[in-house]
Structure 1
Amino acid sequence: MNEPLTVYTLPNCMQCTMTTQALDTANLPYIVIDLTTDERASDLMHQFGYTSAPVVIARMVSWSGFRPDWIAKIAALRDHPTLTGK
């Protein structure tokens, strides 16, 4: 799985910082979108029912808040043959 995750964040958000640090540690690529500067993204997150940051969107799963358990699962699956096509 080489496609980057998308992380929707807010400034000065401790859980957002912890999430991006954990993604860095797990060597998982990601794109950050600031919800305070992207109104469309903010509206979309509310439509999906998310009310707190960060929101992480992966290939087939999404979550909000700092979830090291989900980050570990995504990292473990990164090289799985069914996802890499090997």
Structure 2
Amino acid sequence: MISVTVYSTGDGCRWCVRTCACLRQAGIPFTIIDLSVSVNAPAREFVTDDLGYSAAPVVVVDQDQRHHWSGFRPDLIQQLSTRIEASS
């Protein structure tokens, strides 16, 4: 089973909202981590320091440091959906 985590800056981020909507529409289950909450400082450090991103959303697949992206990427969501369907 593939796990997907979306690091978001909350409902005020239109790209975060669109990414989550696209994942839902594709039937891909995911977990959201809200980077705007102070308790999530370690997650914010992971996204900025470890992965090198400065903009949300950041999508990480299987907690794999090689399989992630930033921004609204419906093309990558579609590829992920195809990958999930092929493994079923």
For Structure 1 versus Structure 2, the TM-score category normalised by the shorter chain is 0.7 to 0.9
| Runs of 4+, deviation exceeding 2 Å | none
- 2:4–2:59 contact (8 Å) kept in structure 1: yes
SS at match of 1:78: helix
Provide the C-alpha distance between the structure 2 equivalents of 1:14 and 1:44, rounded to a whole number of angstroms. Answer: 22
Identical pairs, percent: 33
Aligned length: 81
- 2:2–2:84 contact (8 Å) kept in structure 1: no
Q: CA RMSD in A?
A: 1.2
Provide the C-alpha distance between the structure 2 equivalents of 1:30 and 1:52, rounded to a whole number of angstroms. Answer: 19
SS at match of 1:28: coil
Provide the C-alpha distance between the structure 2 equivalents of 1:72 and 1:33, rounded to a whole number of angstroms. Answer: 21
Q: CA deviation at 1:3?
A: 3.1
Provide the C-alpha distance between the structure 1 equivalents of 2:20 and 2:48, rounded to a whole number of angstroms. Answer: 21
Unaligned runs of 5+ in 2: none
Provide the C-alpha distance between the structure 1 equivalents of 2:77 and 2:2, rounded to a whole number of angstroms. Answer: 15
TM-score, normalised with respect to structure 2: 0.85
Provide the C-alpha distance between the structure 1 equivalents of 2:13 and 2:58, rounded to a whole number of angstroms. Answer: 12
Equivalent residue, structure 2, for 1:54: 57
SS at match of 2:55: coil
Q: CA deviation at 1:45?
A: 0.7
